[in-house]
Amino acid sequence: MNSKLKRSKIVLVIDPRGIIINGGADAINRHIKYGEELNRIDKEFTLIVLSTSNLEFKPINKGSLAEIHKISGPTLNSYKFARLAAKFLAEKKWDIELLVAGDPWESYWSAFLLRRIMQFKIPIQIQLHADIADPKWKRLNFITRARFNLAGLSLSRAEAIRVVSKSQLANLKKSFRINGQKVTIIPIPIKTLDLVLKVQQKKPLSIGFIGRLHQDRGIWEFVELVNKLNSQNKTFKIVIAGSGPDKDEFLNHLYIEVPKSRVSYLGQLPQEKLARLWKQIGVLVSIAPVESYGRVMREALVAGVPVWATESSGVKDLMDICEKGTVKILDLNKSASALNKDFEILLKTKVGPKFGKEFIKENNTYAEKLAQSWVKVISQSKQS
């Protein structure tokens, strides 16, 4: 490492669960982009990520822009990670000015304990991607209820919070009484929007599900939808992209409802391949009970694919800015025939280019805005 980097001002990202390394090229390249934008604002700044993984991982060093290091295997033990991070940092001569936690749980408390161990007097910013303040999220299961209560402690302690939507901020204020002055709204940038293949006007007779295959993402409701649609139409196909702990059980249930020949399971796709997937999907189904933003829904609209989504704050936000009719509320209480009619309407819906052009332009600013928020938090902390 060169001497210039040793004197750099560091924004340190804390990732005990290994979300960044295990997220593959998409997550890694996104953080390198954050580092580029941070360094563009101030040449003295460098972004450093301390992450985890059970896989072999060679440290990534982009000079004065960004570094990504693996310091252990994934852990939920915040104290353990904080101690390992402190040991790693003890060998460095970094001037750390901000800790960034990727969630209000393991990541925040790792950052909090690291700050105590190292006797740092620096702020912590929490990155909050899920709409955990939505009352529906709290009621999903016992674990989300416990995490909801723990998040209340960390969010109130954090010096800064980054959320991804206006409705998410509104829910934070209502559920946790968070001071809106310490919250910044910045969606997650999608690096590959320029690679998205536009769908022709005539769409394939199919529905798509893209994302984590977990019960909290509405997979059993998706099976129910397939059951109802199949009672009316025996020819539509299903495209699944994603992985998760409930993958096998989910696919087995789908194969009970429809023949395997009508289901295309593609696994977890990198963003570049996902950008080319849209020509196989007639209608994107987003059926998660809670959605804060909806990156995949936005990408679908950019590709010209209409969206069929259960009601959530994120879906409402999207409907306010997209072309009328291109996003339709999915109501499983409807009869099978009514749902099939909605499906047929969506297949005939033309998604114009207006939303895509505006969103691509806005999306290209998100990495810079996040870097600016870090510099702002550091500046405000020094003034207080």
274-318 pLDDT per residue, tens: 778 888 999 999 998 887 778 889 989 988 999 999 988 888 889
Please name each of the domains of the chain with its CATH number.
Answer: 3-189+364-383 (3.40.50.2000), 193-362 (3.40.50.2000)
Q: DSSP label at 286? A: E
| 155 neighbors 176 (Cβ within 8 angstroms) | yes
CB environment 349-380: b (16+ within 10 A), e (fewer): bebeeebbeebbeebeebbbbbbbbbbebbee
pTM: 0.82
CB 52 within 8 A of CB 15: yes
Average pLDDT for the chain: 90
Residues 6+ positions from 273 with CB-CB distance below 8 Å:
none
CA distance 178 to 169: 9
Residue type, 72: S
The answer to whether 51 and 20 have CB atoms below 8 angstroms apart is yes
Q: Is the pLDDT score of 271 beyond 80?
A: no
**How does pLDDT run across 350-370, given as a tens digit for each residue?**
998 888 888 888 888 999 999
- In this structure, what DSSP letter does residue 189 have? P
Q: Which range in 106-115, 186-195, 319-328 is most confidently predicted, on average pLDDT?
A: 106-115
- Split at pLDDT 50, 70, 90, the class of 32 is very high
- Let me know: does 263 contact 233? Beta carbons within 8 Å: no
pLDDT tens digits, one per residue of 184-216: 999 888 766 665 656 556 789 999 999 889 888
Question: What pLDDT, on a 0 to 100 scale, did the predictor assign at position 1?
Answer: 42
Lowest mean pLDDT among 10-14, 140-144, 169-173, 318-322: 140-144
